[in-house]
A and B are shown apart, each in its own frame.
Chain A
Amino acid sequence: MSHRLLSVSPVDIAIIVLYFFTVIGIGVYLKRYTKTGEDFFLAGRQMTAWIAGLSFVAANLGSLELMGWAASTYQYGILAAHWYWIGAIPAMLFLGIVMMPFYYISKTHSVPGYLKLRYGEEARVFSAITFGVMTVLMSGVNMYAMALVLHVILGWNIHVSIWISSATVCAYVFLGGLTSAIFNEVIQFFLIWLGALIVAILGLTEVGGWGGLVARIHQNFPGKDYTHMWIDLGSFSSNPMGIQWTGIVFGLGFIISFGYWTTDFLVVQRVLSARNLHSAKMAPIIGSGFKMALPFIVILPGLLALAVLPYHLLPANLAHGAPSYNDVLPLMMGRYLGPGLLGLGITALIAGFMSGMAGNVSAFTTVWTYDIYRALIVKRASDQHYVKVGRWCTIIGVLVSIGTAYFAMQFQSIMDYVQALFSFFVAPLFGTVILGMLWKRATPKAGFWGLLVGTLSSIGMWTWVKFDPAALRYIALSPHAKTMAQDMYQALWSFIICVIVTVAVSMATEPKPKAELVGLVYGATEIPSEGHLPWHKRPIFWAAIVFVILVFLNVVFA
């Protein structure tokens, strides 16, 4: 035990310990129901729309969502909410309404599995390997962030925290597979909301509502605007993020967001566990409603910190042991939560980290077992054999993640690191998947080459800027662009390059016969009609409601 930010009471510790026992207990309970490969890797395809939808959002609620975005809000203001609204909601609705039928009807077990069906083995293996790399890196980042929180808040040794938390996640995923991960994600979802919501409620009470919050921020930071989402995005130099509206709309809102929410198997796997197509379509729409509300518990604490803290926080690399941006959420919890509630708040943070980590581990396990091990190493074995491999893979995945966590310690900004990862793999993958789903002419060779060249171009741009920071002006088209803008434009270019290569190669190579595209591509797939459902049960109705609220929120906070 060394430095600690908060003092926890025995009752807080009891609440945290009870949580750890509960998640492992659920894993033990579910082991008896996890017998087949479909049980372990796809939760038996038995989940309701609500379970799949909540799990879909919770799996994304890793360390970055809670600590990271509260910190980013303190740094950039309400601009951070773009990652929750335009940077998530349209993509989630698009997944539910447009893409889910193809994923679900094709009966694929994974996104690389879809690429195998649509394009062939080369695209699948490349995608599976890049996904595996990205997933263990993400998992390591999550793990490091959790250990850092436990160290800062509780004074726990960072290495002990990494091993205890990862062992817990490993135990429950090993025992119950995806079912266990999803069950725990639903519990984690409730804990995150109930543990963090009270901070926002008490904070708003202290400052006297939204009007009081804005007034206090203006008083503490004269001349700076932290409370508008759009009016400062006219140029790169007029906002603290150093980004222009085109980067937010096209780079984040279209490419990064659609890439992540529609092709990242971590989240798509939760929806594939739904028990029928209607549930699979509704799950992302339900998830989008809760995602849209998350700024209330993530962004608002960051803004409250700007309003109520009697001192100004610094970036972690300049804080020299003093509280930094990254400590915003724990600081606000320490401010408002007394004994008992503080335990609940800390449990919310731990639950967020665990849900993110379990999401990565279970997705990695599925892709490794089905898309690498079964595709390349042992092609014909019993279902039980693959379940056993999946279980062992869980342990290996966690061990690799632990190694990655130590690697992540070398990076000053976790956020930038993850954004870089997204743009390496996710943006080109979105180009490949969406062309595969919507364009019958896309050929197997084009799918592979588009994905490969798009990914290499992204890595190339990142490396270029790494060695020559001045190169950013060419990628983001402005000398005033900052790191966040680099990620947006890098994703945009890599997507465009992927699409151009895919189209060009498709024109020069032989397409698949139409019979082989049934169930995979628009125009060759019969999508079940929902005309028999009453209007209030149709996914498109709820998607429209969510979209209208999204527009309304953006106008109100413009």
Chain B
Amino acid sequence: MPNEEQNNSSGRIAIWFFVGLLLAVYGIIIVVTGLYYLGSPPSHPAVLANLHPEIWWGAVLLAIGLFYVIRFFPRKRL
């Protein structure tokens, strides 16, 4: 994947950090939603809802998001 310096020469935060942040937040929201509906299923469940895609797809988003957040976390320039 991107072989980019943490922040570019102008001190700008790398785009990958923003990508990671948004995906991580989305991942948390979707996993929590999936866990909530595990206890109280919706009245009109989607096809294959029994596979609980919210939980594992949300976890995928969270994992990708955390990778980018940690890898491109803004640090002070020396």
Contacts and interface: CB of A to CB of B under 8 A. Distances in A.
Answer yes or no: are A and B bound together in one complex. Answer: yes
Task: Assign chain A's interface to a size class.
Answer: 35 or more
Contacts of B25: 18
B55 to A, nearest CB: 10
A194 B61 contact: yes
B2 interface: yes
A11 B33 contact: yes
B4 A48 contact: yes
A334 B49 CA distance: 12
Interface string B40-78: 001011111101011001101100100000000000000
Contacts of B42: 338-339
Contacts of B54: 338-341
Interface in A16-36: 18-19, 22, 26, 29-30, 33
A190 B48 contact: no
A438 interface: no
9 contacts: A11-B29, A46-B9, A183-B15, A194-B61, A202-B47, A206-B47, A334-B46, A336-B47, A341-B58
Contacts of A190: 19, 23, 64
A198 B59 CA distance: 13
Interface of A: 7, 11, 14-15, 18-19, 22, 26, 29-30, 33, 44, 46, 48, 50-51, 182-183, 186-187, 190-191, 194, 198, 202, 205-206, 334-341, 344
Secondary structure call for the A interface: helix
Contacts of B60: 194
Contacts of A26: 18
A28 to B, nearest CB: 12
Contacts of A183: 15, 18
A342 B51 CA distance: 15
A198 B47 contact: no
A48 B7 CA distance: 12
A22 B26 contact: no
A22 B12 CA distance: 16
B62 to A, nearest CB: 11
Contact of A340 (B2, B8, B33, B51): B33
B12 A344 contact: no
Contacts of B34: 338, 340
A54 to B, nearest CB: 9
Contacts of B30: 15, 340-341, 344
A19 B23 CA distance: 10
Contacts of A22: 18, 22
A205 B51 contact: yes
A26 B21 CA distance: 12
Contacts of B47: 202, 206, 335-336
Contact of A335 (B3, B37, B46): B46
Closest CB pairs A-B (n = 4): A340-B33, A340-B30, A50-B2, A338-B46
